[in-house]
Amino acid sequence: MELIKVTLLFAVTAVAEIVGCYLPWLVLKQSKPVWLLLPATVSLGLFVWLLTLHPAAAGRTYAAYGGMYIAVALVWLYVVDGVTLTRWDLAGAGIALVGMAVIALQPTTAGT
C-alpha cells in the first residue's frame, strides 16, 4: 500500500511540474497567450507544495522523485506531443521507477 501511495504522490507532483514548465514553453516557443503564465505559476506552486508532503528528507525525496519524473515525462511525450516511445524509453522508465522504489521504500531502522 505504501508503494501505491508514494507512487501516486510522485506522479501528481511530476504532472504539476511538467504543466508548470510546459505552459511557459508554449508561450515562449509557440507564441501562445501570455495569460498561460498564470496557471503555470499556480502549477509550479502546487509542485513545490506537493514536494513537502513526502515524508523523507528533501534530498532523498528529490532523488526518488527523479525516477517518477522520467516516467511521467515520457507519458507526456507520448500523450501530449504524440511521439511514439521506443523500447529504450520504456526500459529506461522501468529502471528509473525501480530506482525510485528502492530509494523511497528503504527501511527506516538504524543501521540499514
Question: pLDDT value at position 7?
Answer: 82
Question: pLDDT value at position 29?
Answer: 96
Q: Is residue 112 assigned to a domain?
A: no
Question: pLDDT value at position 111?
Answer: 54
pLDDT < 70 stretches in the chain? 1, 56, 109-112
**DSSP states of the chain:** -HHHHHHHHHHHHHHHHHHHHHHHHHHHHH---GGGHHHHHHHHHHHHHHHHT-SS-HHHHHHHHHHHHHHHHHHHHHHTT-PPPPHHHHHHHHHHHHHHHHHHT---STT-
Question: pLDDT value at position 18?
Answer: 95
Q: Is residue 74 assigned to a domain?
A: yes
Question: pLDDT value at position 53?
Answer: 87
Q: Containing domain of residue 78, as a range?
A: 2-104
The structure's pTM equals 0.81
Task: Count structural domains, the chain.
Answer: 1
Q: Is residue 81 assigned to a domain?
A: yes
Q: Is residue 42 assigned to a domain?
A: yes
Q: Is residue 70 assigned to a domain?
A: yes
Q: Is residue 57 assigned to a domain?
A: yes
Q: Is residue 19 assigned to a domain?
A: yes
